[in-house]
Amino acid sequence: MNVNGFCRIVSKKLPQQFAYKRIVTFSTKPAQQQQEATVSTPTLPNNNTPAARKPIVPGHYRFVYPEFLPDPKVQWRNTVREKLERLDMLARRGQVDLPEFYVGSILAVTSSDPHAAGKTSRFVGICIHRERCGLRARFILRNVIDHQGMEVLYELYDPTIQKVEVLRLEKRLDDSLFYLRDALPEFSTFDENMEAEHLEEGAPVPVNDIKVVLRPRPWLERWERQNLLGVANIEQYIKDKHRKSAAKVQKPWEKYDLMKQYRATIPEEEQKEIFAEVHTELHTLELQRKRNKRKRSFIKPKQLA
């Protein structure tokens, strides 16, 4: 082989070698190493940045303020309307103190009534039901007055409501107490001049495990089909035909239906996002309520002679 032929071969191989080296020099391996180094050495969050200071929402907010959670049905959801409703709800809570209560708590609601003597009416009763969400949230109070059962349905954010007092804060074994309509009257009778029973700050809400006694049939509903825990003598008035008909309509597999539970609830991530939006205002209202409670509980000592 002569010198010219050798030079041609070398000249053909040199561009290929340089091209290969050019690709290697622009490889992404250093970037991957740098990324691994950043992952292996995490940086502490800076408290001065506004993104790091997220409000810590208490876990009990979804029980205390259930009306702030939207309707789980997709066809009734509208994010813009829900945000506007939450702003209206916070504005209403700034005007009227709406305390914490549950089904089974005894409340006293004072509302404006143009037909009453003092233009206001006060009703005392036990909360037997609580439903709906947003500005449409409502609850039902029941009491027996002059041997006659009376129920009043209140809209929680109704502008005619002037005052809501919790006389006894407690829960019951069931989520709904409609069976008090068929129970003996003493389980739904409460004094209109009942004094408020205050719980210690930070104490858990007590659960009243009382079991009511139903009157004989006929009933307003078929209570034997609802798996009630707060009824004592439901087996006394049930016959074999009632048990057979109740067994036919039972659906024990529904407690394993995860999709049904998902469609009937709001995801936890969405709940945290909603309550993080209103946490600051609700926390401020809670502090104001505690200060007002301390002022009412303080009794000025009398000056001795």
* 80-119 confidence digits (pLDDT tens): 999 999 999 999 999 999 999 999 999 999 999 999 888 9
Which residue range forms the structural domain that includes residue 161? 60-285
Edge-to-edge strands of the sheet including 120-131?
A: 148-155, 138-145, 120-131, 106-112, 161-168
Q: Is 219 among the domain residues?
A: yes
Q: Is 279 among the domain residues?
A: yes
Residue matched to tokens 């109070």? 141
Q: Helix 79-95 and helix 268-297: axis angle, to 10°?
A: 10
Q: Is 103 among the domain residues?
A: yes
Give dist(CA 238, CA 299) in Å, integer: 55
Q: How confident is the model at residue 68 (pLDDT cuts 50, 70, 90)?
A: very high
Distance (Å) of CA 25 to CA 15, 28, 224: 15, 9, 79
Strand partners of residue 164:
109
Q: Is 1 among the domain residues?
A: no
Q: Is 71 among the domain residues?
A: yes
Q: What is the pLDDT of residue 294?
A: 73
Q: What is the CATH number of the domain that holds 91?
A: 2.30.30.790
* Position 100, amino acid: E
pLDDT at 5 over 90: no
Please tell me the pTM assigned to this model: 0.77
Q: How confident is the model at residue 238 (pLDDT cuts 50, 70, 90)?
A: very high
Q: Is 34 among the domain residues?
A: no
Closest to 156 in 3D by CA, of 88, 205, 208: 88
pLDDT at 36 over 60: no
Number of domains in the chain: 1
Task: For the chain, state the CA radius of gyration.
Answer: 33
Q: Is 158 among the domain residues?
A: yes
* 167-220 confidence digits (pLDDT tens): 999 999 999 999 999 999 999 999 999 999 988 888 999 999 999 999 999 999
pLDDT at 20 over 80: no
Q: Is 168 among the domain residues?
A: yes
Instruction: Give, as one character, the DSSP assignment of residue 157.
Output: T
The token duo for 67 is 């009306």
Q: How many helices (H) and strands (E) does the chain have?
A: 7, 5
